[in-house]
Chain A
């Protein structure tokens, strides 16, 4: 140690400072300059590509590994690497990886095409879209990757929230499943279940301060006839149906019908609580059926039933929770990326994995093979997928969503009245919508 200290101080100081100072100056100059980024390229249609997916809901890691293996067999000159992150980390990972051109294909949520498209993070693929897709895909699916008549990807996971219930709980509490057709009926049923002592908290939701909360809220907002923004683009969730939806949510907590853990739960928590038999009914995405009905992962297998989302006074729109596959604008190998995207979104592949996620293609829903793969959800999906509610399609959606999440939680936790919470959210969101 002593030997190292002495020479460093001998030469030293000045020479060392000169040398390192030069390096430092270079770093500073580099930092100040505008470093020219290269934009993407079509590439040769061969070579390595890297794709980013999410871990939960929709197709499982296993499904995607199988699809990719099949694709590799058919396209030996393209080498695909796949990465998976939690949904909660997906957006930020795409953003952080964009300047480094890490990914060629990224999975994007229905709320991101405006943001990613306008910021040139994902490529405009309108010219690659065959005209026939527009008539062959369900309208709710097409809206997933489209922003202002430009396509920023291909719809892949077509999803909305269904009502899952445990028929054993209902039977034991003497509740008729037909009651679950309306939100009023759900509350009546939940009261009866609670009274009978079958479960302490019959309902569980994904109301953690996260996008999951907005999805549940969107579905209720639609049922109560509210809307996120009015025709002039100003916030409208603090009027009418938007407030009633939050009042409904809060009341279900006050009445002890909703599991108080809901405000800290994501979709996976909902699945686990439902699968352990601690909840009688819950909203969740398609994927919950396969897992909750699997005896290896669930204590309620065989008792899981699926319904359309219950109706409110204004109908029963399901939240559009679809996702699409996009080609990175920075990708140097966009042709190969597109081949992979087209393969994963193709009808035969989607039909095969319909248990995890339903196809975006209209005719799939009448295909007996698809119905057989997921006999519980397909009939409900056929009715539900025609009636969907979109969250606002705006460039700074995330900032608005964060404001709304926090205020919804203030309302849910009783820190503010529902009206006050939503007024406060509308105040803050208003200025964000204008910027």
Chain B
């Protein structure tokens, strides 16, 4: 869906002159009628939970059932910062977000360049490259859990045959966190690559021709033409991937269950544990609001950078 964004923006720009055109009342009513179902869905499944969660975060709600719970103001929020288990969890989340996003970006650029190159059977390579992203995260997690299994996993078969010995890939906290990152990178690099591929295809080839005429080599052309022209795509991908990585939950749930020794618990996973396993819904709601605030801050930061890039005439 988001892949179409550039196209949609293009369409809006094309129709901009029609902005002031008045439409007939009947047409408008019809448009409104068409929009109502979507509006009901959006407000029902987005706005209601958003507000409800905010309300719950101010109460000491310790059951899923409706009832009257004591009002505690900001105490649930304060509790987060006094929770000794929260800081390691935050550390895992930041590490996961930083490393997985960085890896996905670097590998994504490489993959996009390869897919953009005039290869034979290019359609075939492109279909293969999109496969990991097409897998549901749950399947991806289960797949990697099996491959990383210390007893019968294929990864150990490979390392043993290479003389590197067998390892418990998910057996120690830090290694397990890195293995989850590997699984996440394997899946999401393809979507990053496709974003960047779309960006690459908008770069006019005469720019490269001109560079060649001026005597620039491939490396120089990459850093002076490709990278600056790709900045808007990179920014979009960075925003999306950072947000996704920050709220990572499903792959952790499937691959490690937060273990070993809580070494792979992330903020989203911890929030889930508090809310559903421990039935501390007020505390869980406060935690999830803090996640939202963190993501909002990240997104605003990125958007700022993107705007500065646009002002600099990159777009």
Chain A residues within 8 Å of B, Cβ to Cβ: 1-2, 5-12, 15-16, 19-20, 23-24, 26-28, 30-32, 34-37, 88, 91-92, 95-96, 98-99, 115, 119-121, 208-210, 259-261, 263-264, 269, 273, 278, 330, 396, 398-399, 402-403, 405-407, 409-410, 413, 415, 428
Contacts and interface: CB of A to CB of B under 8 A. Distances in A.
B260 A7 contact: no
The 5 closest A-B pairs by CB, nearest first: A209-B259, A37-B66, A11-B28, A31-B52, A409-B261
Most chain A CB neighbours (cut-off 10 Å) among B12, B18, B65, B172: B65
A23 B43 contact: yes
Contacts of B47: 24, 27-28, 31
B55 to A, nearest CB: 6
A124 to B, nearest CB: 15
B140 to A, nearest CB: 18
Given A9-B19, A264-B260, A92 B276 contact: yes
A95 B280 CA distance: 11
B273 interface: yes
B74 to A, nearest CB: 17
B67 interface: yes
A27 B257 contact: no
A429 to B, nearest CB: 12
Interface string B241-274: 0000000000000001111111000000000010
Interface string B138-179: 000000000001110000000000000000101111000000
B3 interface: no
Contacts, number: 167
A413 B260 contact: yes
A368 B47 CA distance: 62
Given A20-B39, A20-B43, A263 B278 contact: no
Interface in B1-53: 8, 11-12, 14-15, 18-19, 21-23, 27-28, 30-32, 35-36, 39-40, 43-44, 47-49, 51-52
Contacts of B22: 10
Given A263-B171, A278-B151, A2 B15 contact: yes
A405 B258 CA distance: 11
* Residue in B19, B49, B259 with the greatest tally of chain A CB atoms within 10 Å: B259
A119 B15 contact: no
Nearest to A409: B261
Given A6-B23, A264-B150, A31 B48 contact: yes
A99 B28 CA distance: 40
Given A5-B11, A10-B22, A261-B150, A209 B262 contact: yes
A8 B35 contact: yes
Given A120-B65, A402-B273, A10 B21 contact: yes
A264 B259 contact: yes
B102 to A, nearest CB: 27
Given A2-B14, A23-B40, A121 B66 contact: no
Nearest to B166: A260
Interface in B210-260: 256-260
Nearest to B153: A261
Nearest to A414: B172
B313 interface: no
23 contacts: A2-B15, A2-B18, A6-B21, A10-B28, A12-B28, A20-B39, A23-B40, A23-B43, A27-B48, A34-B66, A37-B67, A91-B277, A119-B62, A120-B63, A121-B65, A208-B259, A209-B258, A260-B150, A261-B149, A264-B150, A278-B151, A398-B279, A415-B261
Nearest to B262: A406
Given A6-B21, A27-B43, A209-B259, A11 B32 contact: yes
A96 B276 contact: yes
Give the interface centre of B52, B260, B273 by most chain A CB atoms within 10 Å. Answer: B260
Contacts of B273: 402
B262 to A, nearest CB: 4
B260 A263 contact: yes
A27 B44 contact: yes
B252 to A, nearest CB: 12
